[in-house]
Every structure is written in C-alpha cells, then in structure tokens.
Amino acid sequence: MGMHRSVDVSVDAMLHDLRALVEVESPSRDLDALGASARTVAAVIESRLGGQAVLVGSEAGPHVHWSGGGEPRVLILGHHDTVFPLGTLERRPFRVEGGHATGPGVFDMLGGLVQAVHGLAALEDLSGVEILVTADEEVGSVSSRPLIEERARACGAVLVFEGAAEGGGLKTGRKGCGTFRVSVTGRASHAGLEPAAGVNALIEAAHQVLDIAALNNPEVGTTVTPTVASAGTSDNVVPAEATIVVDVRVESAEEKERVETAFAALTPHLDEAEIAVRGEIGRPPMQESASAGLFEMAQQLLPGIEGRAVGGGSDGNFTAALGVPTLDGLGAVGGGAHADHEYLVVGAMEERAELVTGLVDAIRNSRLE
C-alpha cells in the first residue's frame, strides 16, 4: 500500500466510529447480523487507513482482513462478534456520559478495534501491518483459527485488542481453556410403580459431577468447574438422560494433558448407565514468555503500565502457542465484559491508540526473538 499520510488521534473521531460499530449488532452465529457488522468494520478500516478490507467468508460469518502491503511484520488481531443477542441495543443503546461509553460490545471488543485503527492512522507508513477481525472468537474460533495461525506465522508478531486487564494493564499470559460436555444415558421407568426398573441418569450425573470436581488443582492454576446440568422430563419419571457442561482452565501443557486424559477415562458408577464425553481444552495456555519482548517495548512507550496473567482465553492463545510473540489486552480500558454494565473509559482512548502507533513502529524497527 505504501505511504499513508499521518493524522492526529481524535477522541471524537474514535467515538464516532465506535458508535457505528456498536449500532450494528453482531451476536455470534447470526450470519446476517455478522455480515452487516463485517461490512461496517471494513468501511471503518477503509475510511481511516485507505486500501481495501477483504471479507473472508466462513461458515461462522465473514472475517475482515486488511493489509498495508510490503513484508508482513505485525498482525493486529480482534473480533467483531459479541455475546449479546439482537435487541440488546434497544434496551442498552450506545451512550457517552460521565467519562464512560456504554453499549453492547464497547469493551469486548469494539472499542479496542477502533483504538487500533486510529492508532495505525497516525503512522506515516503502514507497510508490514495486517489487520484480522474475526467473526467467531466468542464461540471458540473454530472457523477462524487456521486463518489466524496462517497470518500470525507470516507476520511474526501479534497484537491482540481484547479489553485491558483490571486497572488498564496489558495481558501478558492467559490460561488455556475449554469446555467439556458429559452425556449420561440411563433408562426411564415409573418413579412410583417401579423405580428400581430404571437406571437413574440424574444419580449417575451426580456421581460424575463429584468425580469431575475432584480434577481441580488450583495450586497449579487448574480450575475444573461444572457449570450447567440438566436431567429428567417429569416429576414421576426416572430420568433416562442427563448432561453436564464443564468449564476448564489450565496454565500448563502438562495440566492440559492430565485433565483431557481424566475426562476420557470417566466411567459410570451405576450398572447399565452409559456416559459419553465430548470436548477439549481448545485454547492452549499463553505463556508469559510469549509476550516478554513486546511487553518490554510497551513499558518503554508507556512507563508504569502493568502486565497481568489472566484466566480468560483469547485468540492470542493460538498465536502464542505457535511461538509467535504475542501481546494481549491492548484494547479498551474499562470493564464488565459480557455484562449489562459493560463500559469503556473514554479518557484512556487516546493514550491506548498512541500505544498502538508506538508499538507498531517499534516492532518494525526490531527483530523479535
């Protein structure tokens, strides 16, 4: 793409673009909504940076890819899907008041996308910069993962624009995370006339919940948390089926292997009961070593900024696992991700956009190990 005329970072302009993104709702798996959202993201990128943002079709919705040309050096990574269903905007419209911007997705992670684009717009030269904004991060990145990994390898450094850690810190490490679903099959019978003729899937599920919870090892950062359970059809029927959903977080590859092996080895406690396990720890741990060089650059640009290892996962887990230097949490300062009180701190937007400008320049002028 060559040279690009630099511009000063404007908070008003960032809020204008943030409103545009928020007011096009983009719940995961809603292909029509995600299509409209992707087109809006592309329009914002093109209006601020020039060039062409390409929509990459997928079964999860369109991803948005933009390149500044030249040898790839740094990948700006984010997502435009949100967890909020259609209609949330009517109940919780975009607003700016009291120093906060609110509305569905402002913190996770539309504010980060806007800051990234405006930080890049302040550069004179955009060569070597790529932007990838995916459509399925909130639901596991199954469709986008190959593209994320391809562009991360090509670029050699990744800046992830998920919301900042508490207090505005950058995210220098993340736990690996995944979801398991344990399905229990028993046999129905009349709960009053012949309860012993049945195989109670709910009782079997209760045994399994205790076995699963015993896999917890918080001393090494592993949490195994049963989160959703369902069973039964009527109050007078021995339940024939039950399901358990489990959230898992780990800090090391060894714990990932241990937990996955333990789930595969689960066995029934009741005669004639059957269980089936699906799932995996799909996002590998992001070790702090992956962010060390980039975080040092950020500290030089913004002295006093903190780095934190956090429990949540992002697409940065994938890129770090490849050995590609990755720094996360560069997005909005605020809080309330996935909640009705989600907010972005307007006063931090300019500083975070300028951090993007400095980091991209620093990366292009260095050779990361």
Would you please indicate which residues are annotated as catalytic (active-site) residues?
A: 81, 137
Residue whose C-alpha is closest to residue 105's, from 342, 333, 335? 342
Q: Which two tokens stand for residue 7?
A: 């511009």
Pairing of strands 170-174, 307-310: parallel
Looking at the DSSP assignment, which residues form a beta bridge with residue 182? Answer: 244, 277
Residue whose C-alpha is closest to residue 199's, from 211, 189, 209, 190? 189
CB 352 within 8 A of CB 333: yes
CB 49 within 8 A of CB 339: no
Q: Which two tokens stand for residue 329?
A: 């949490």
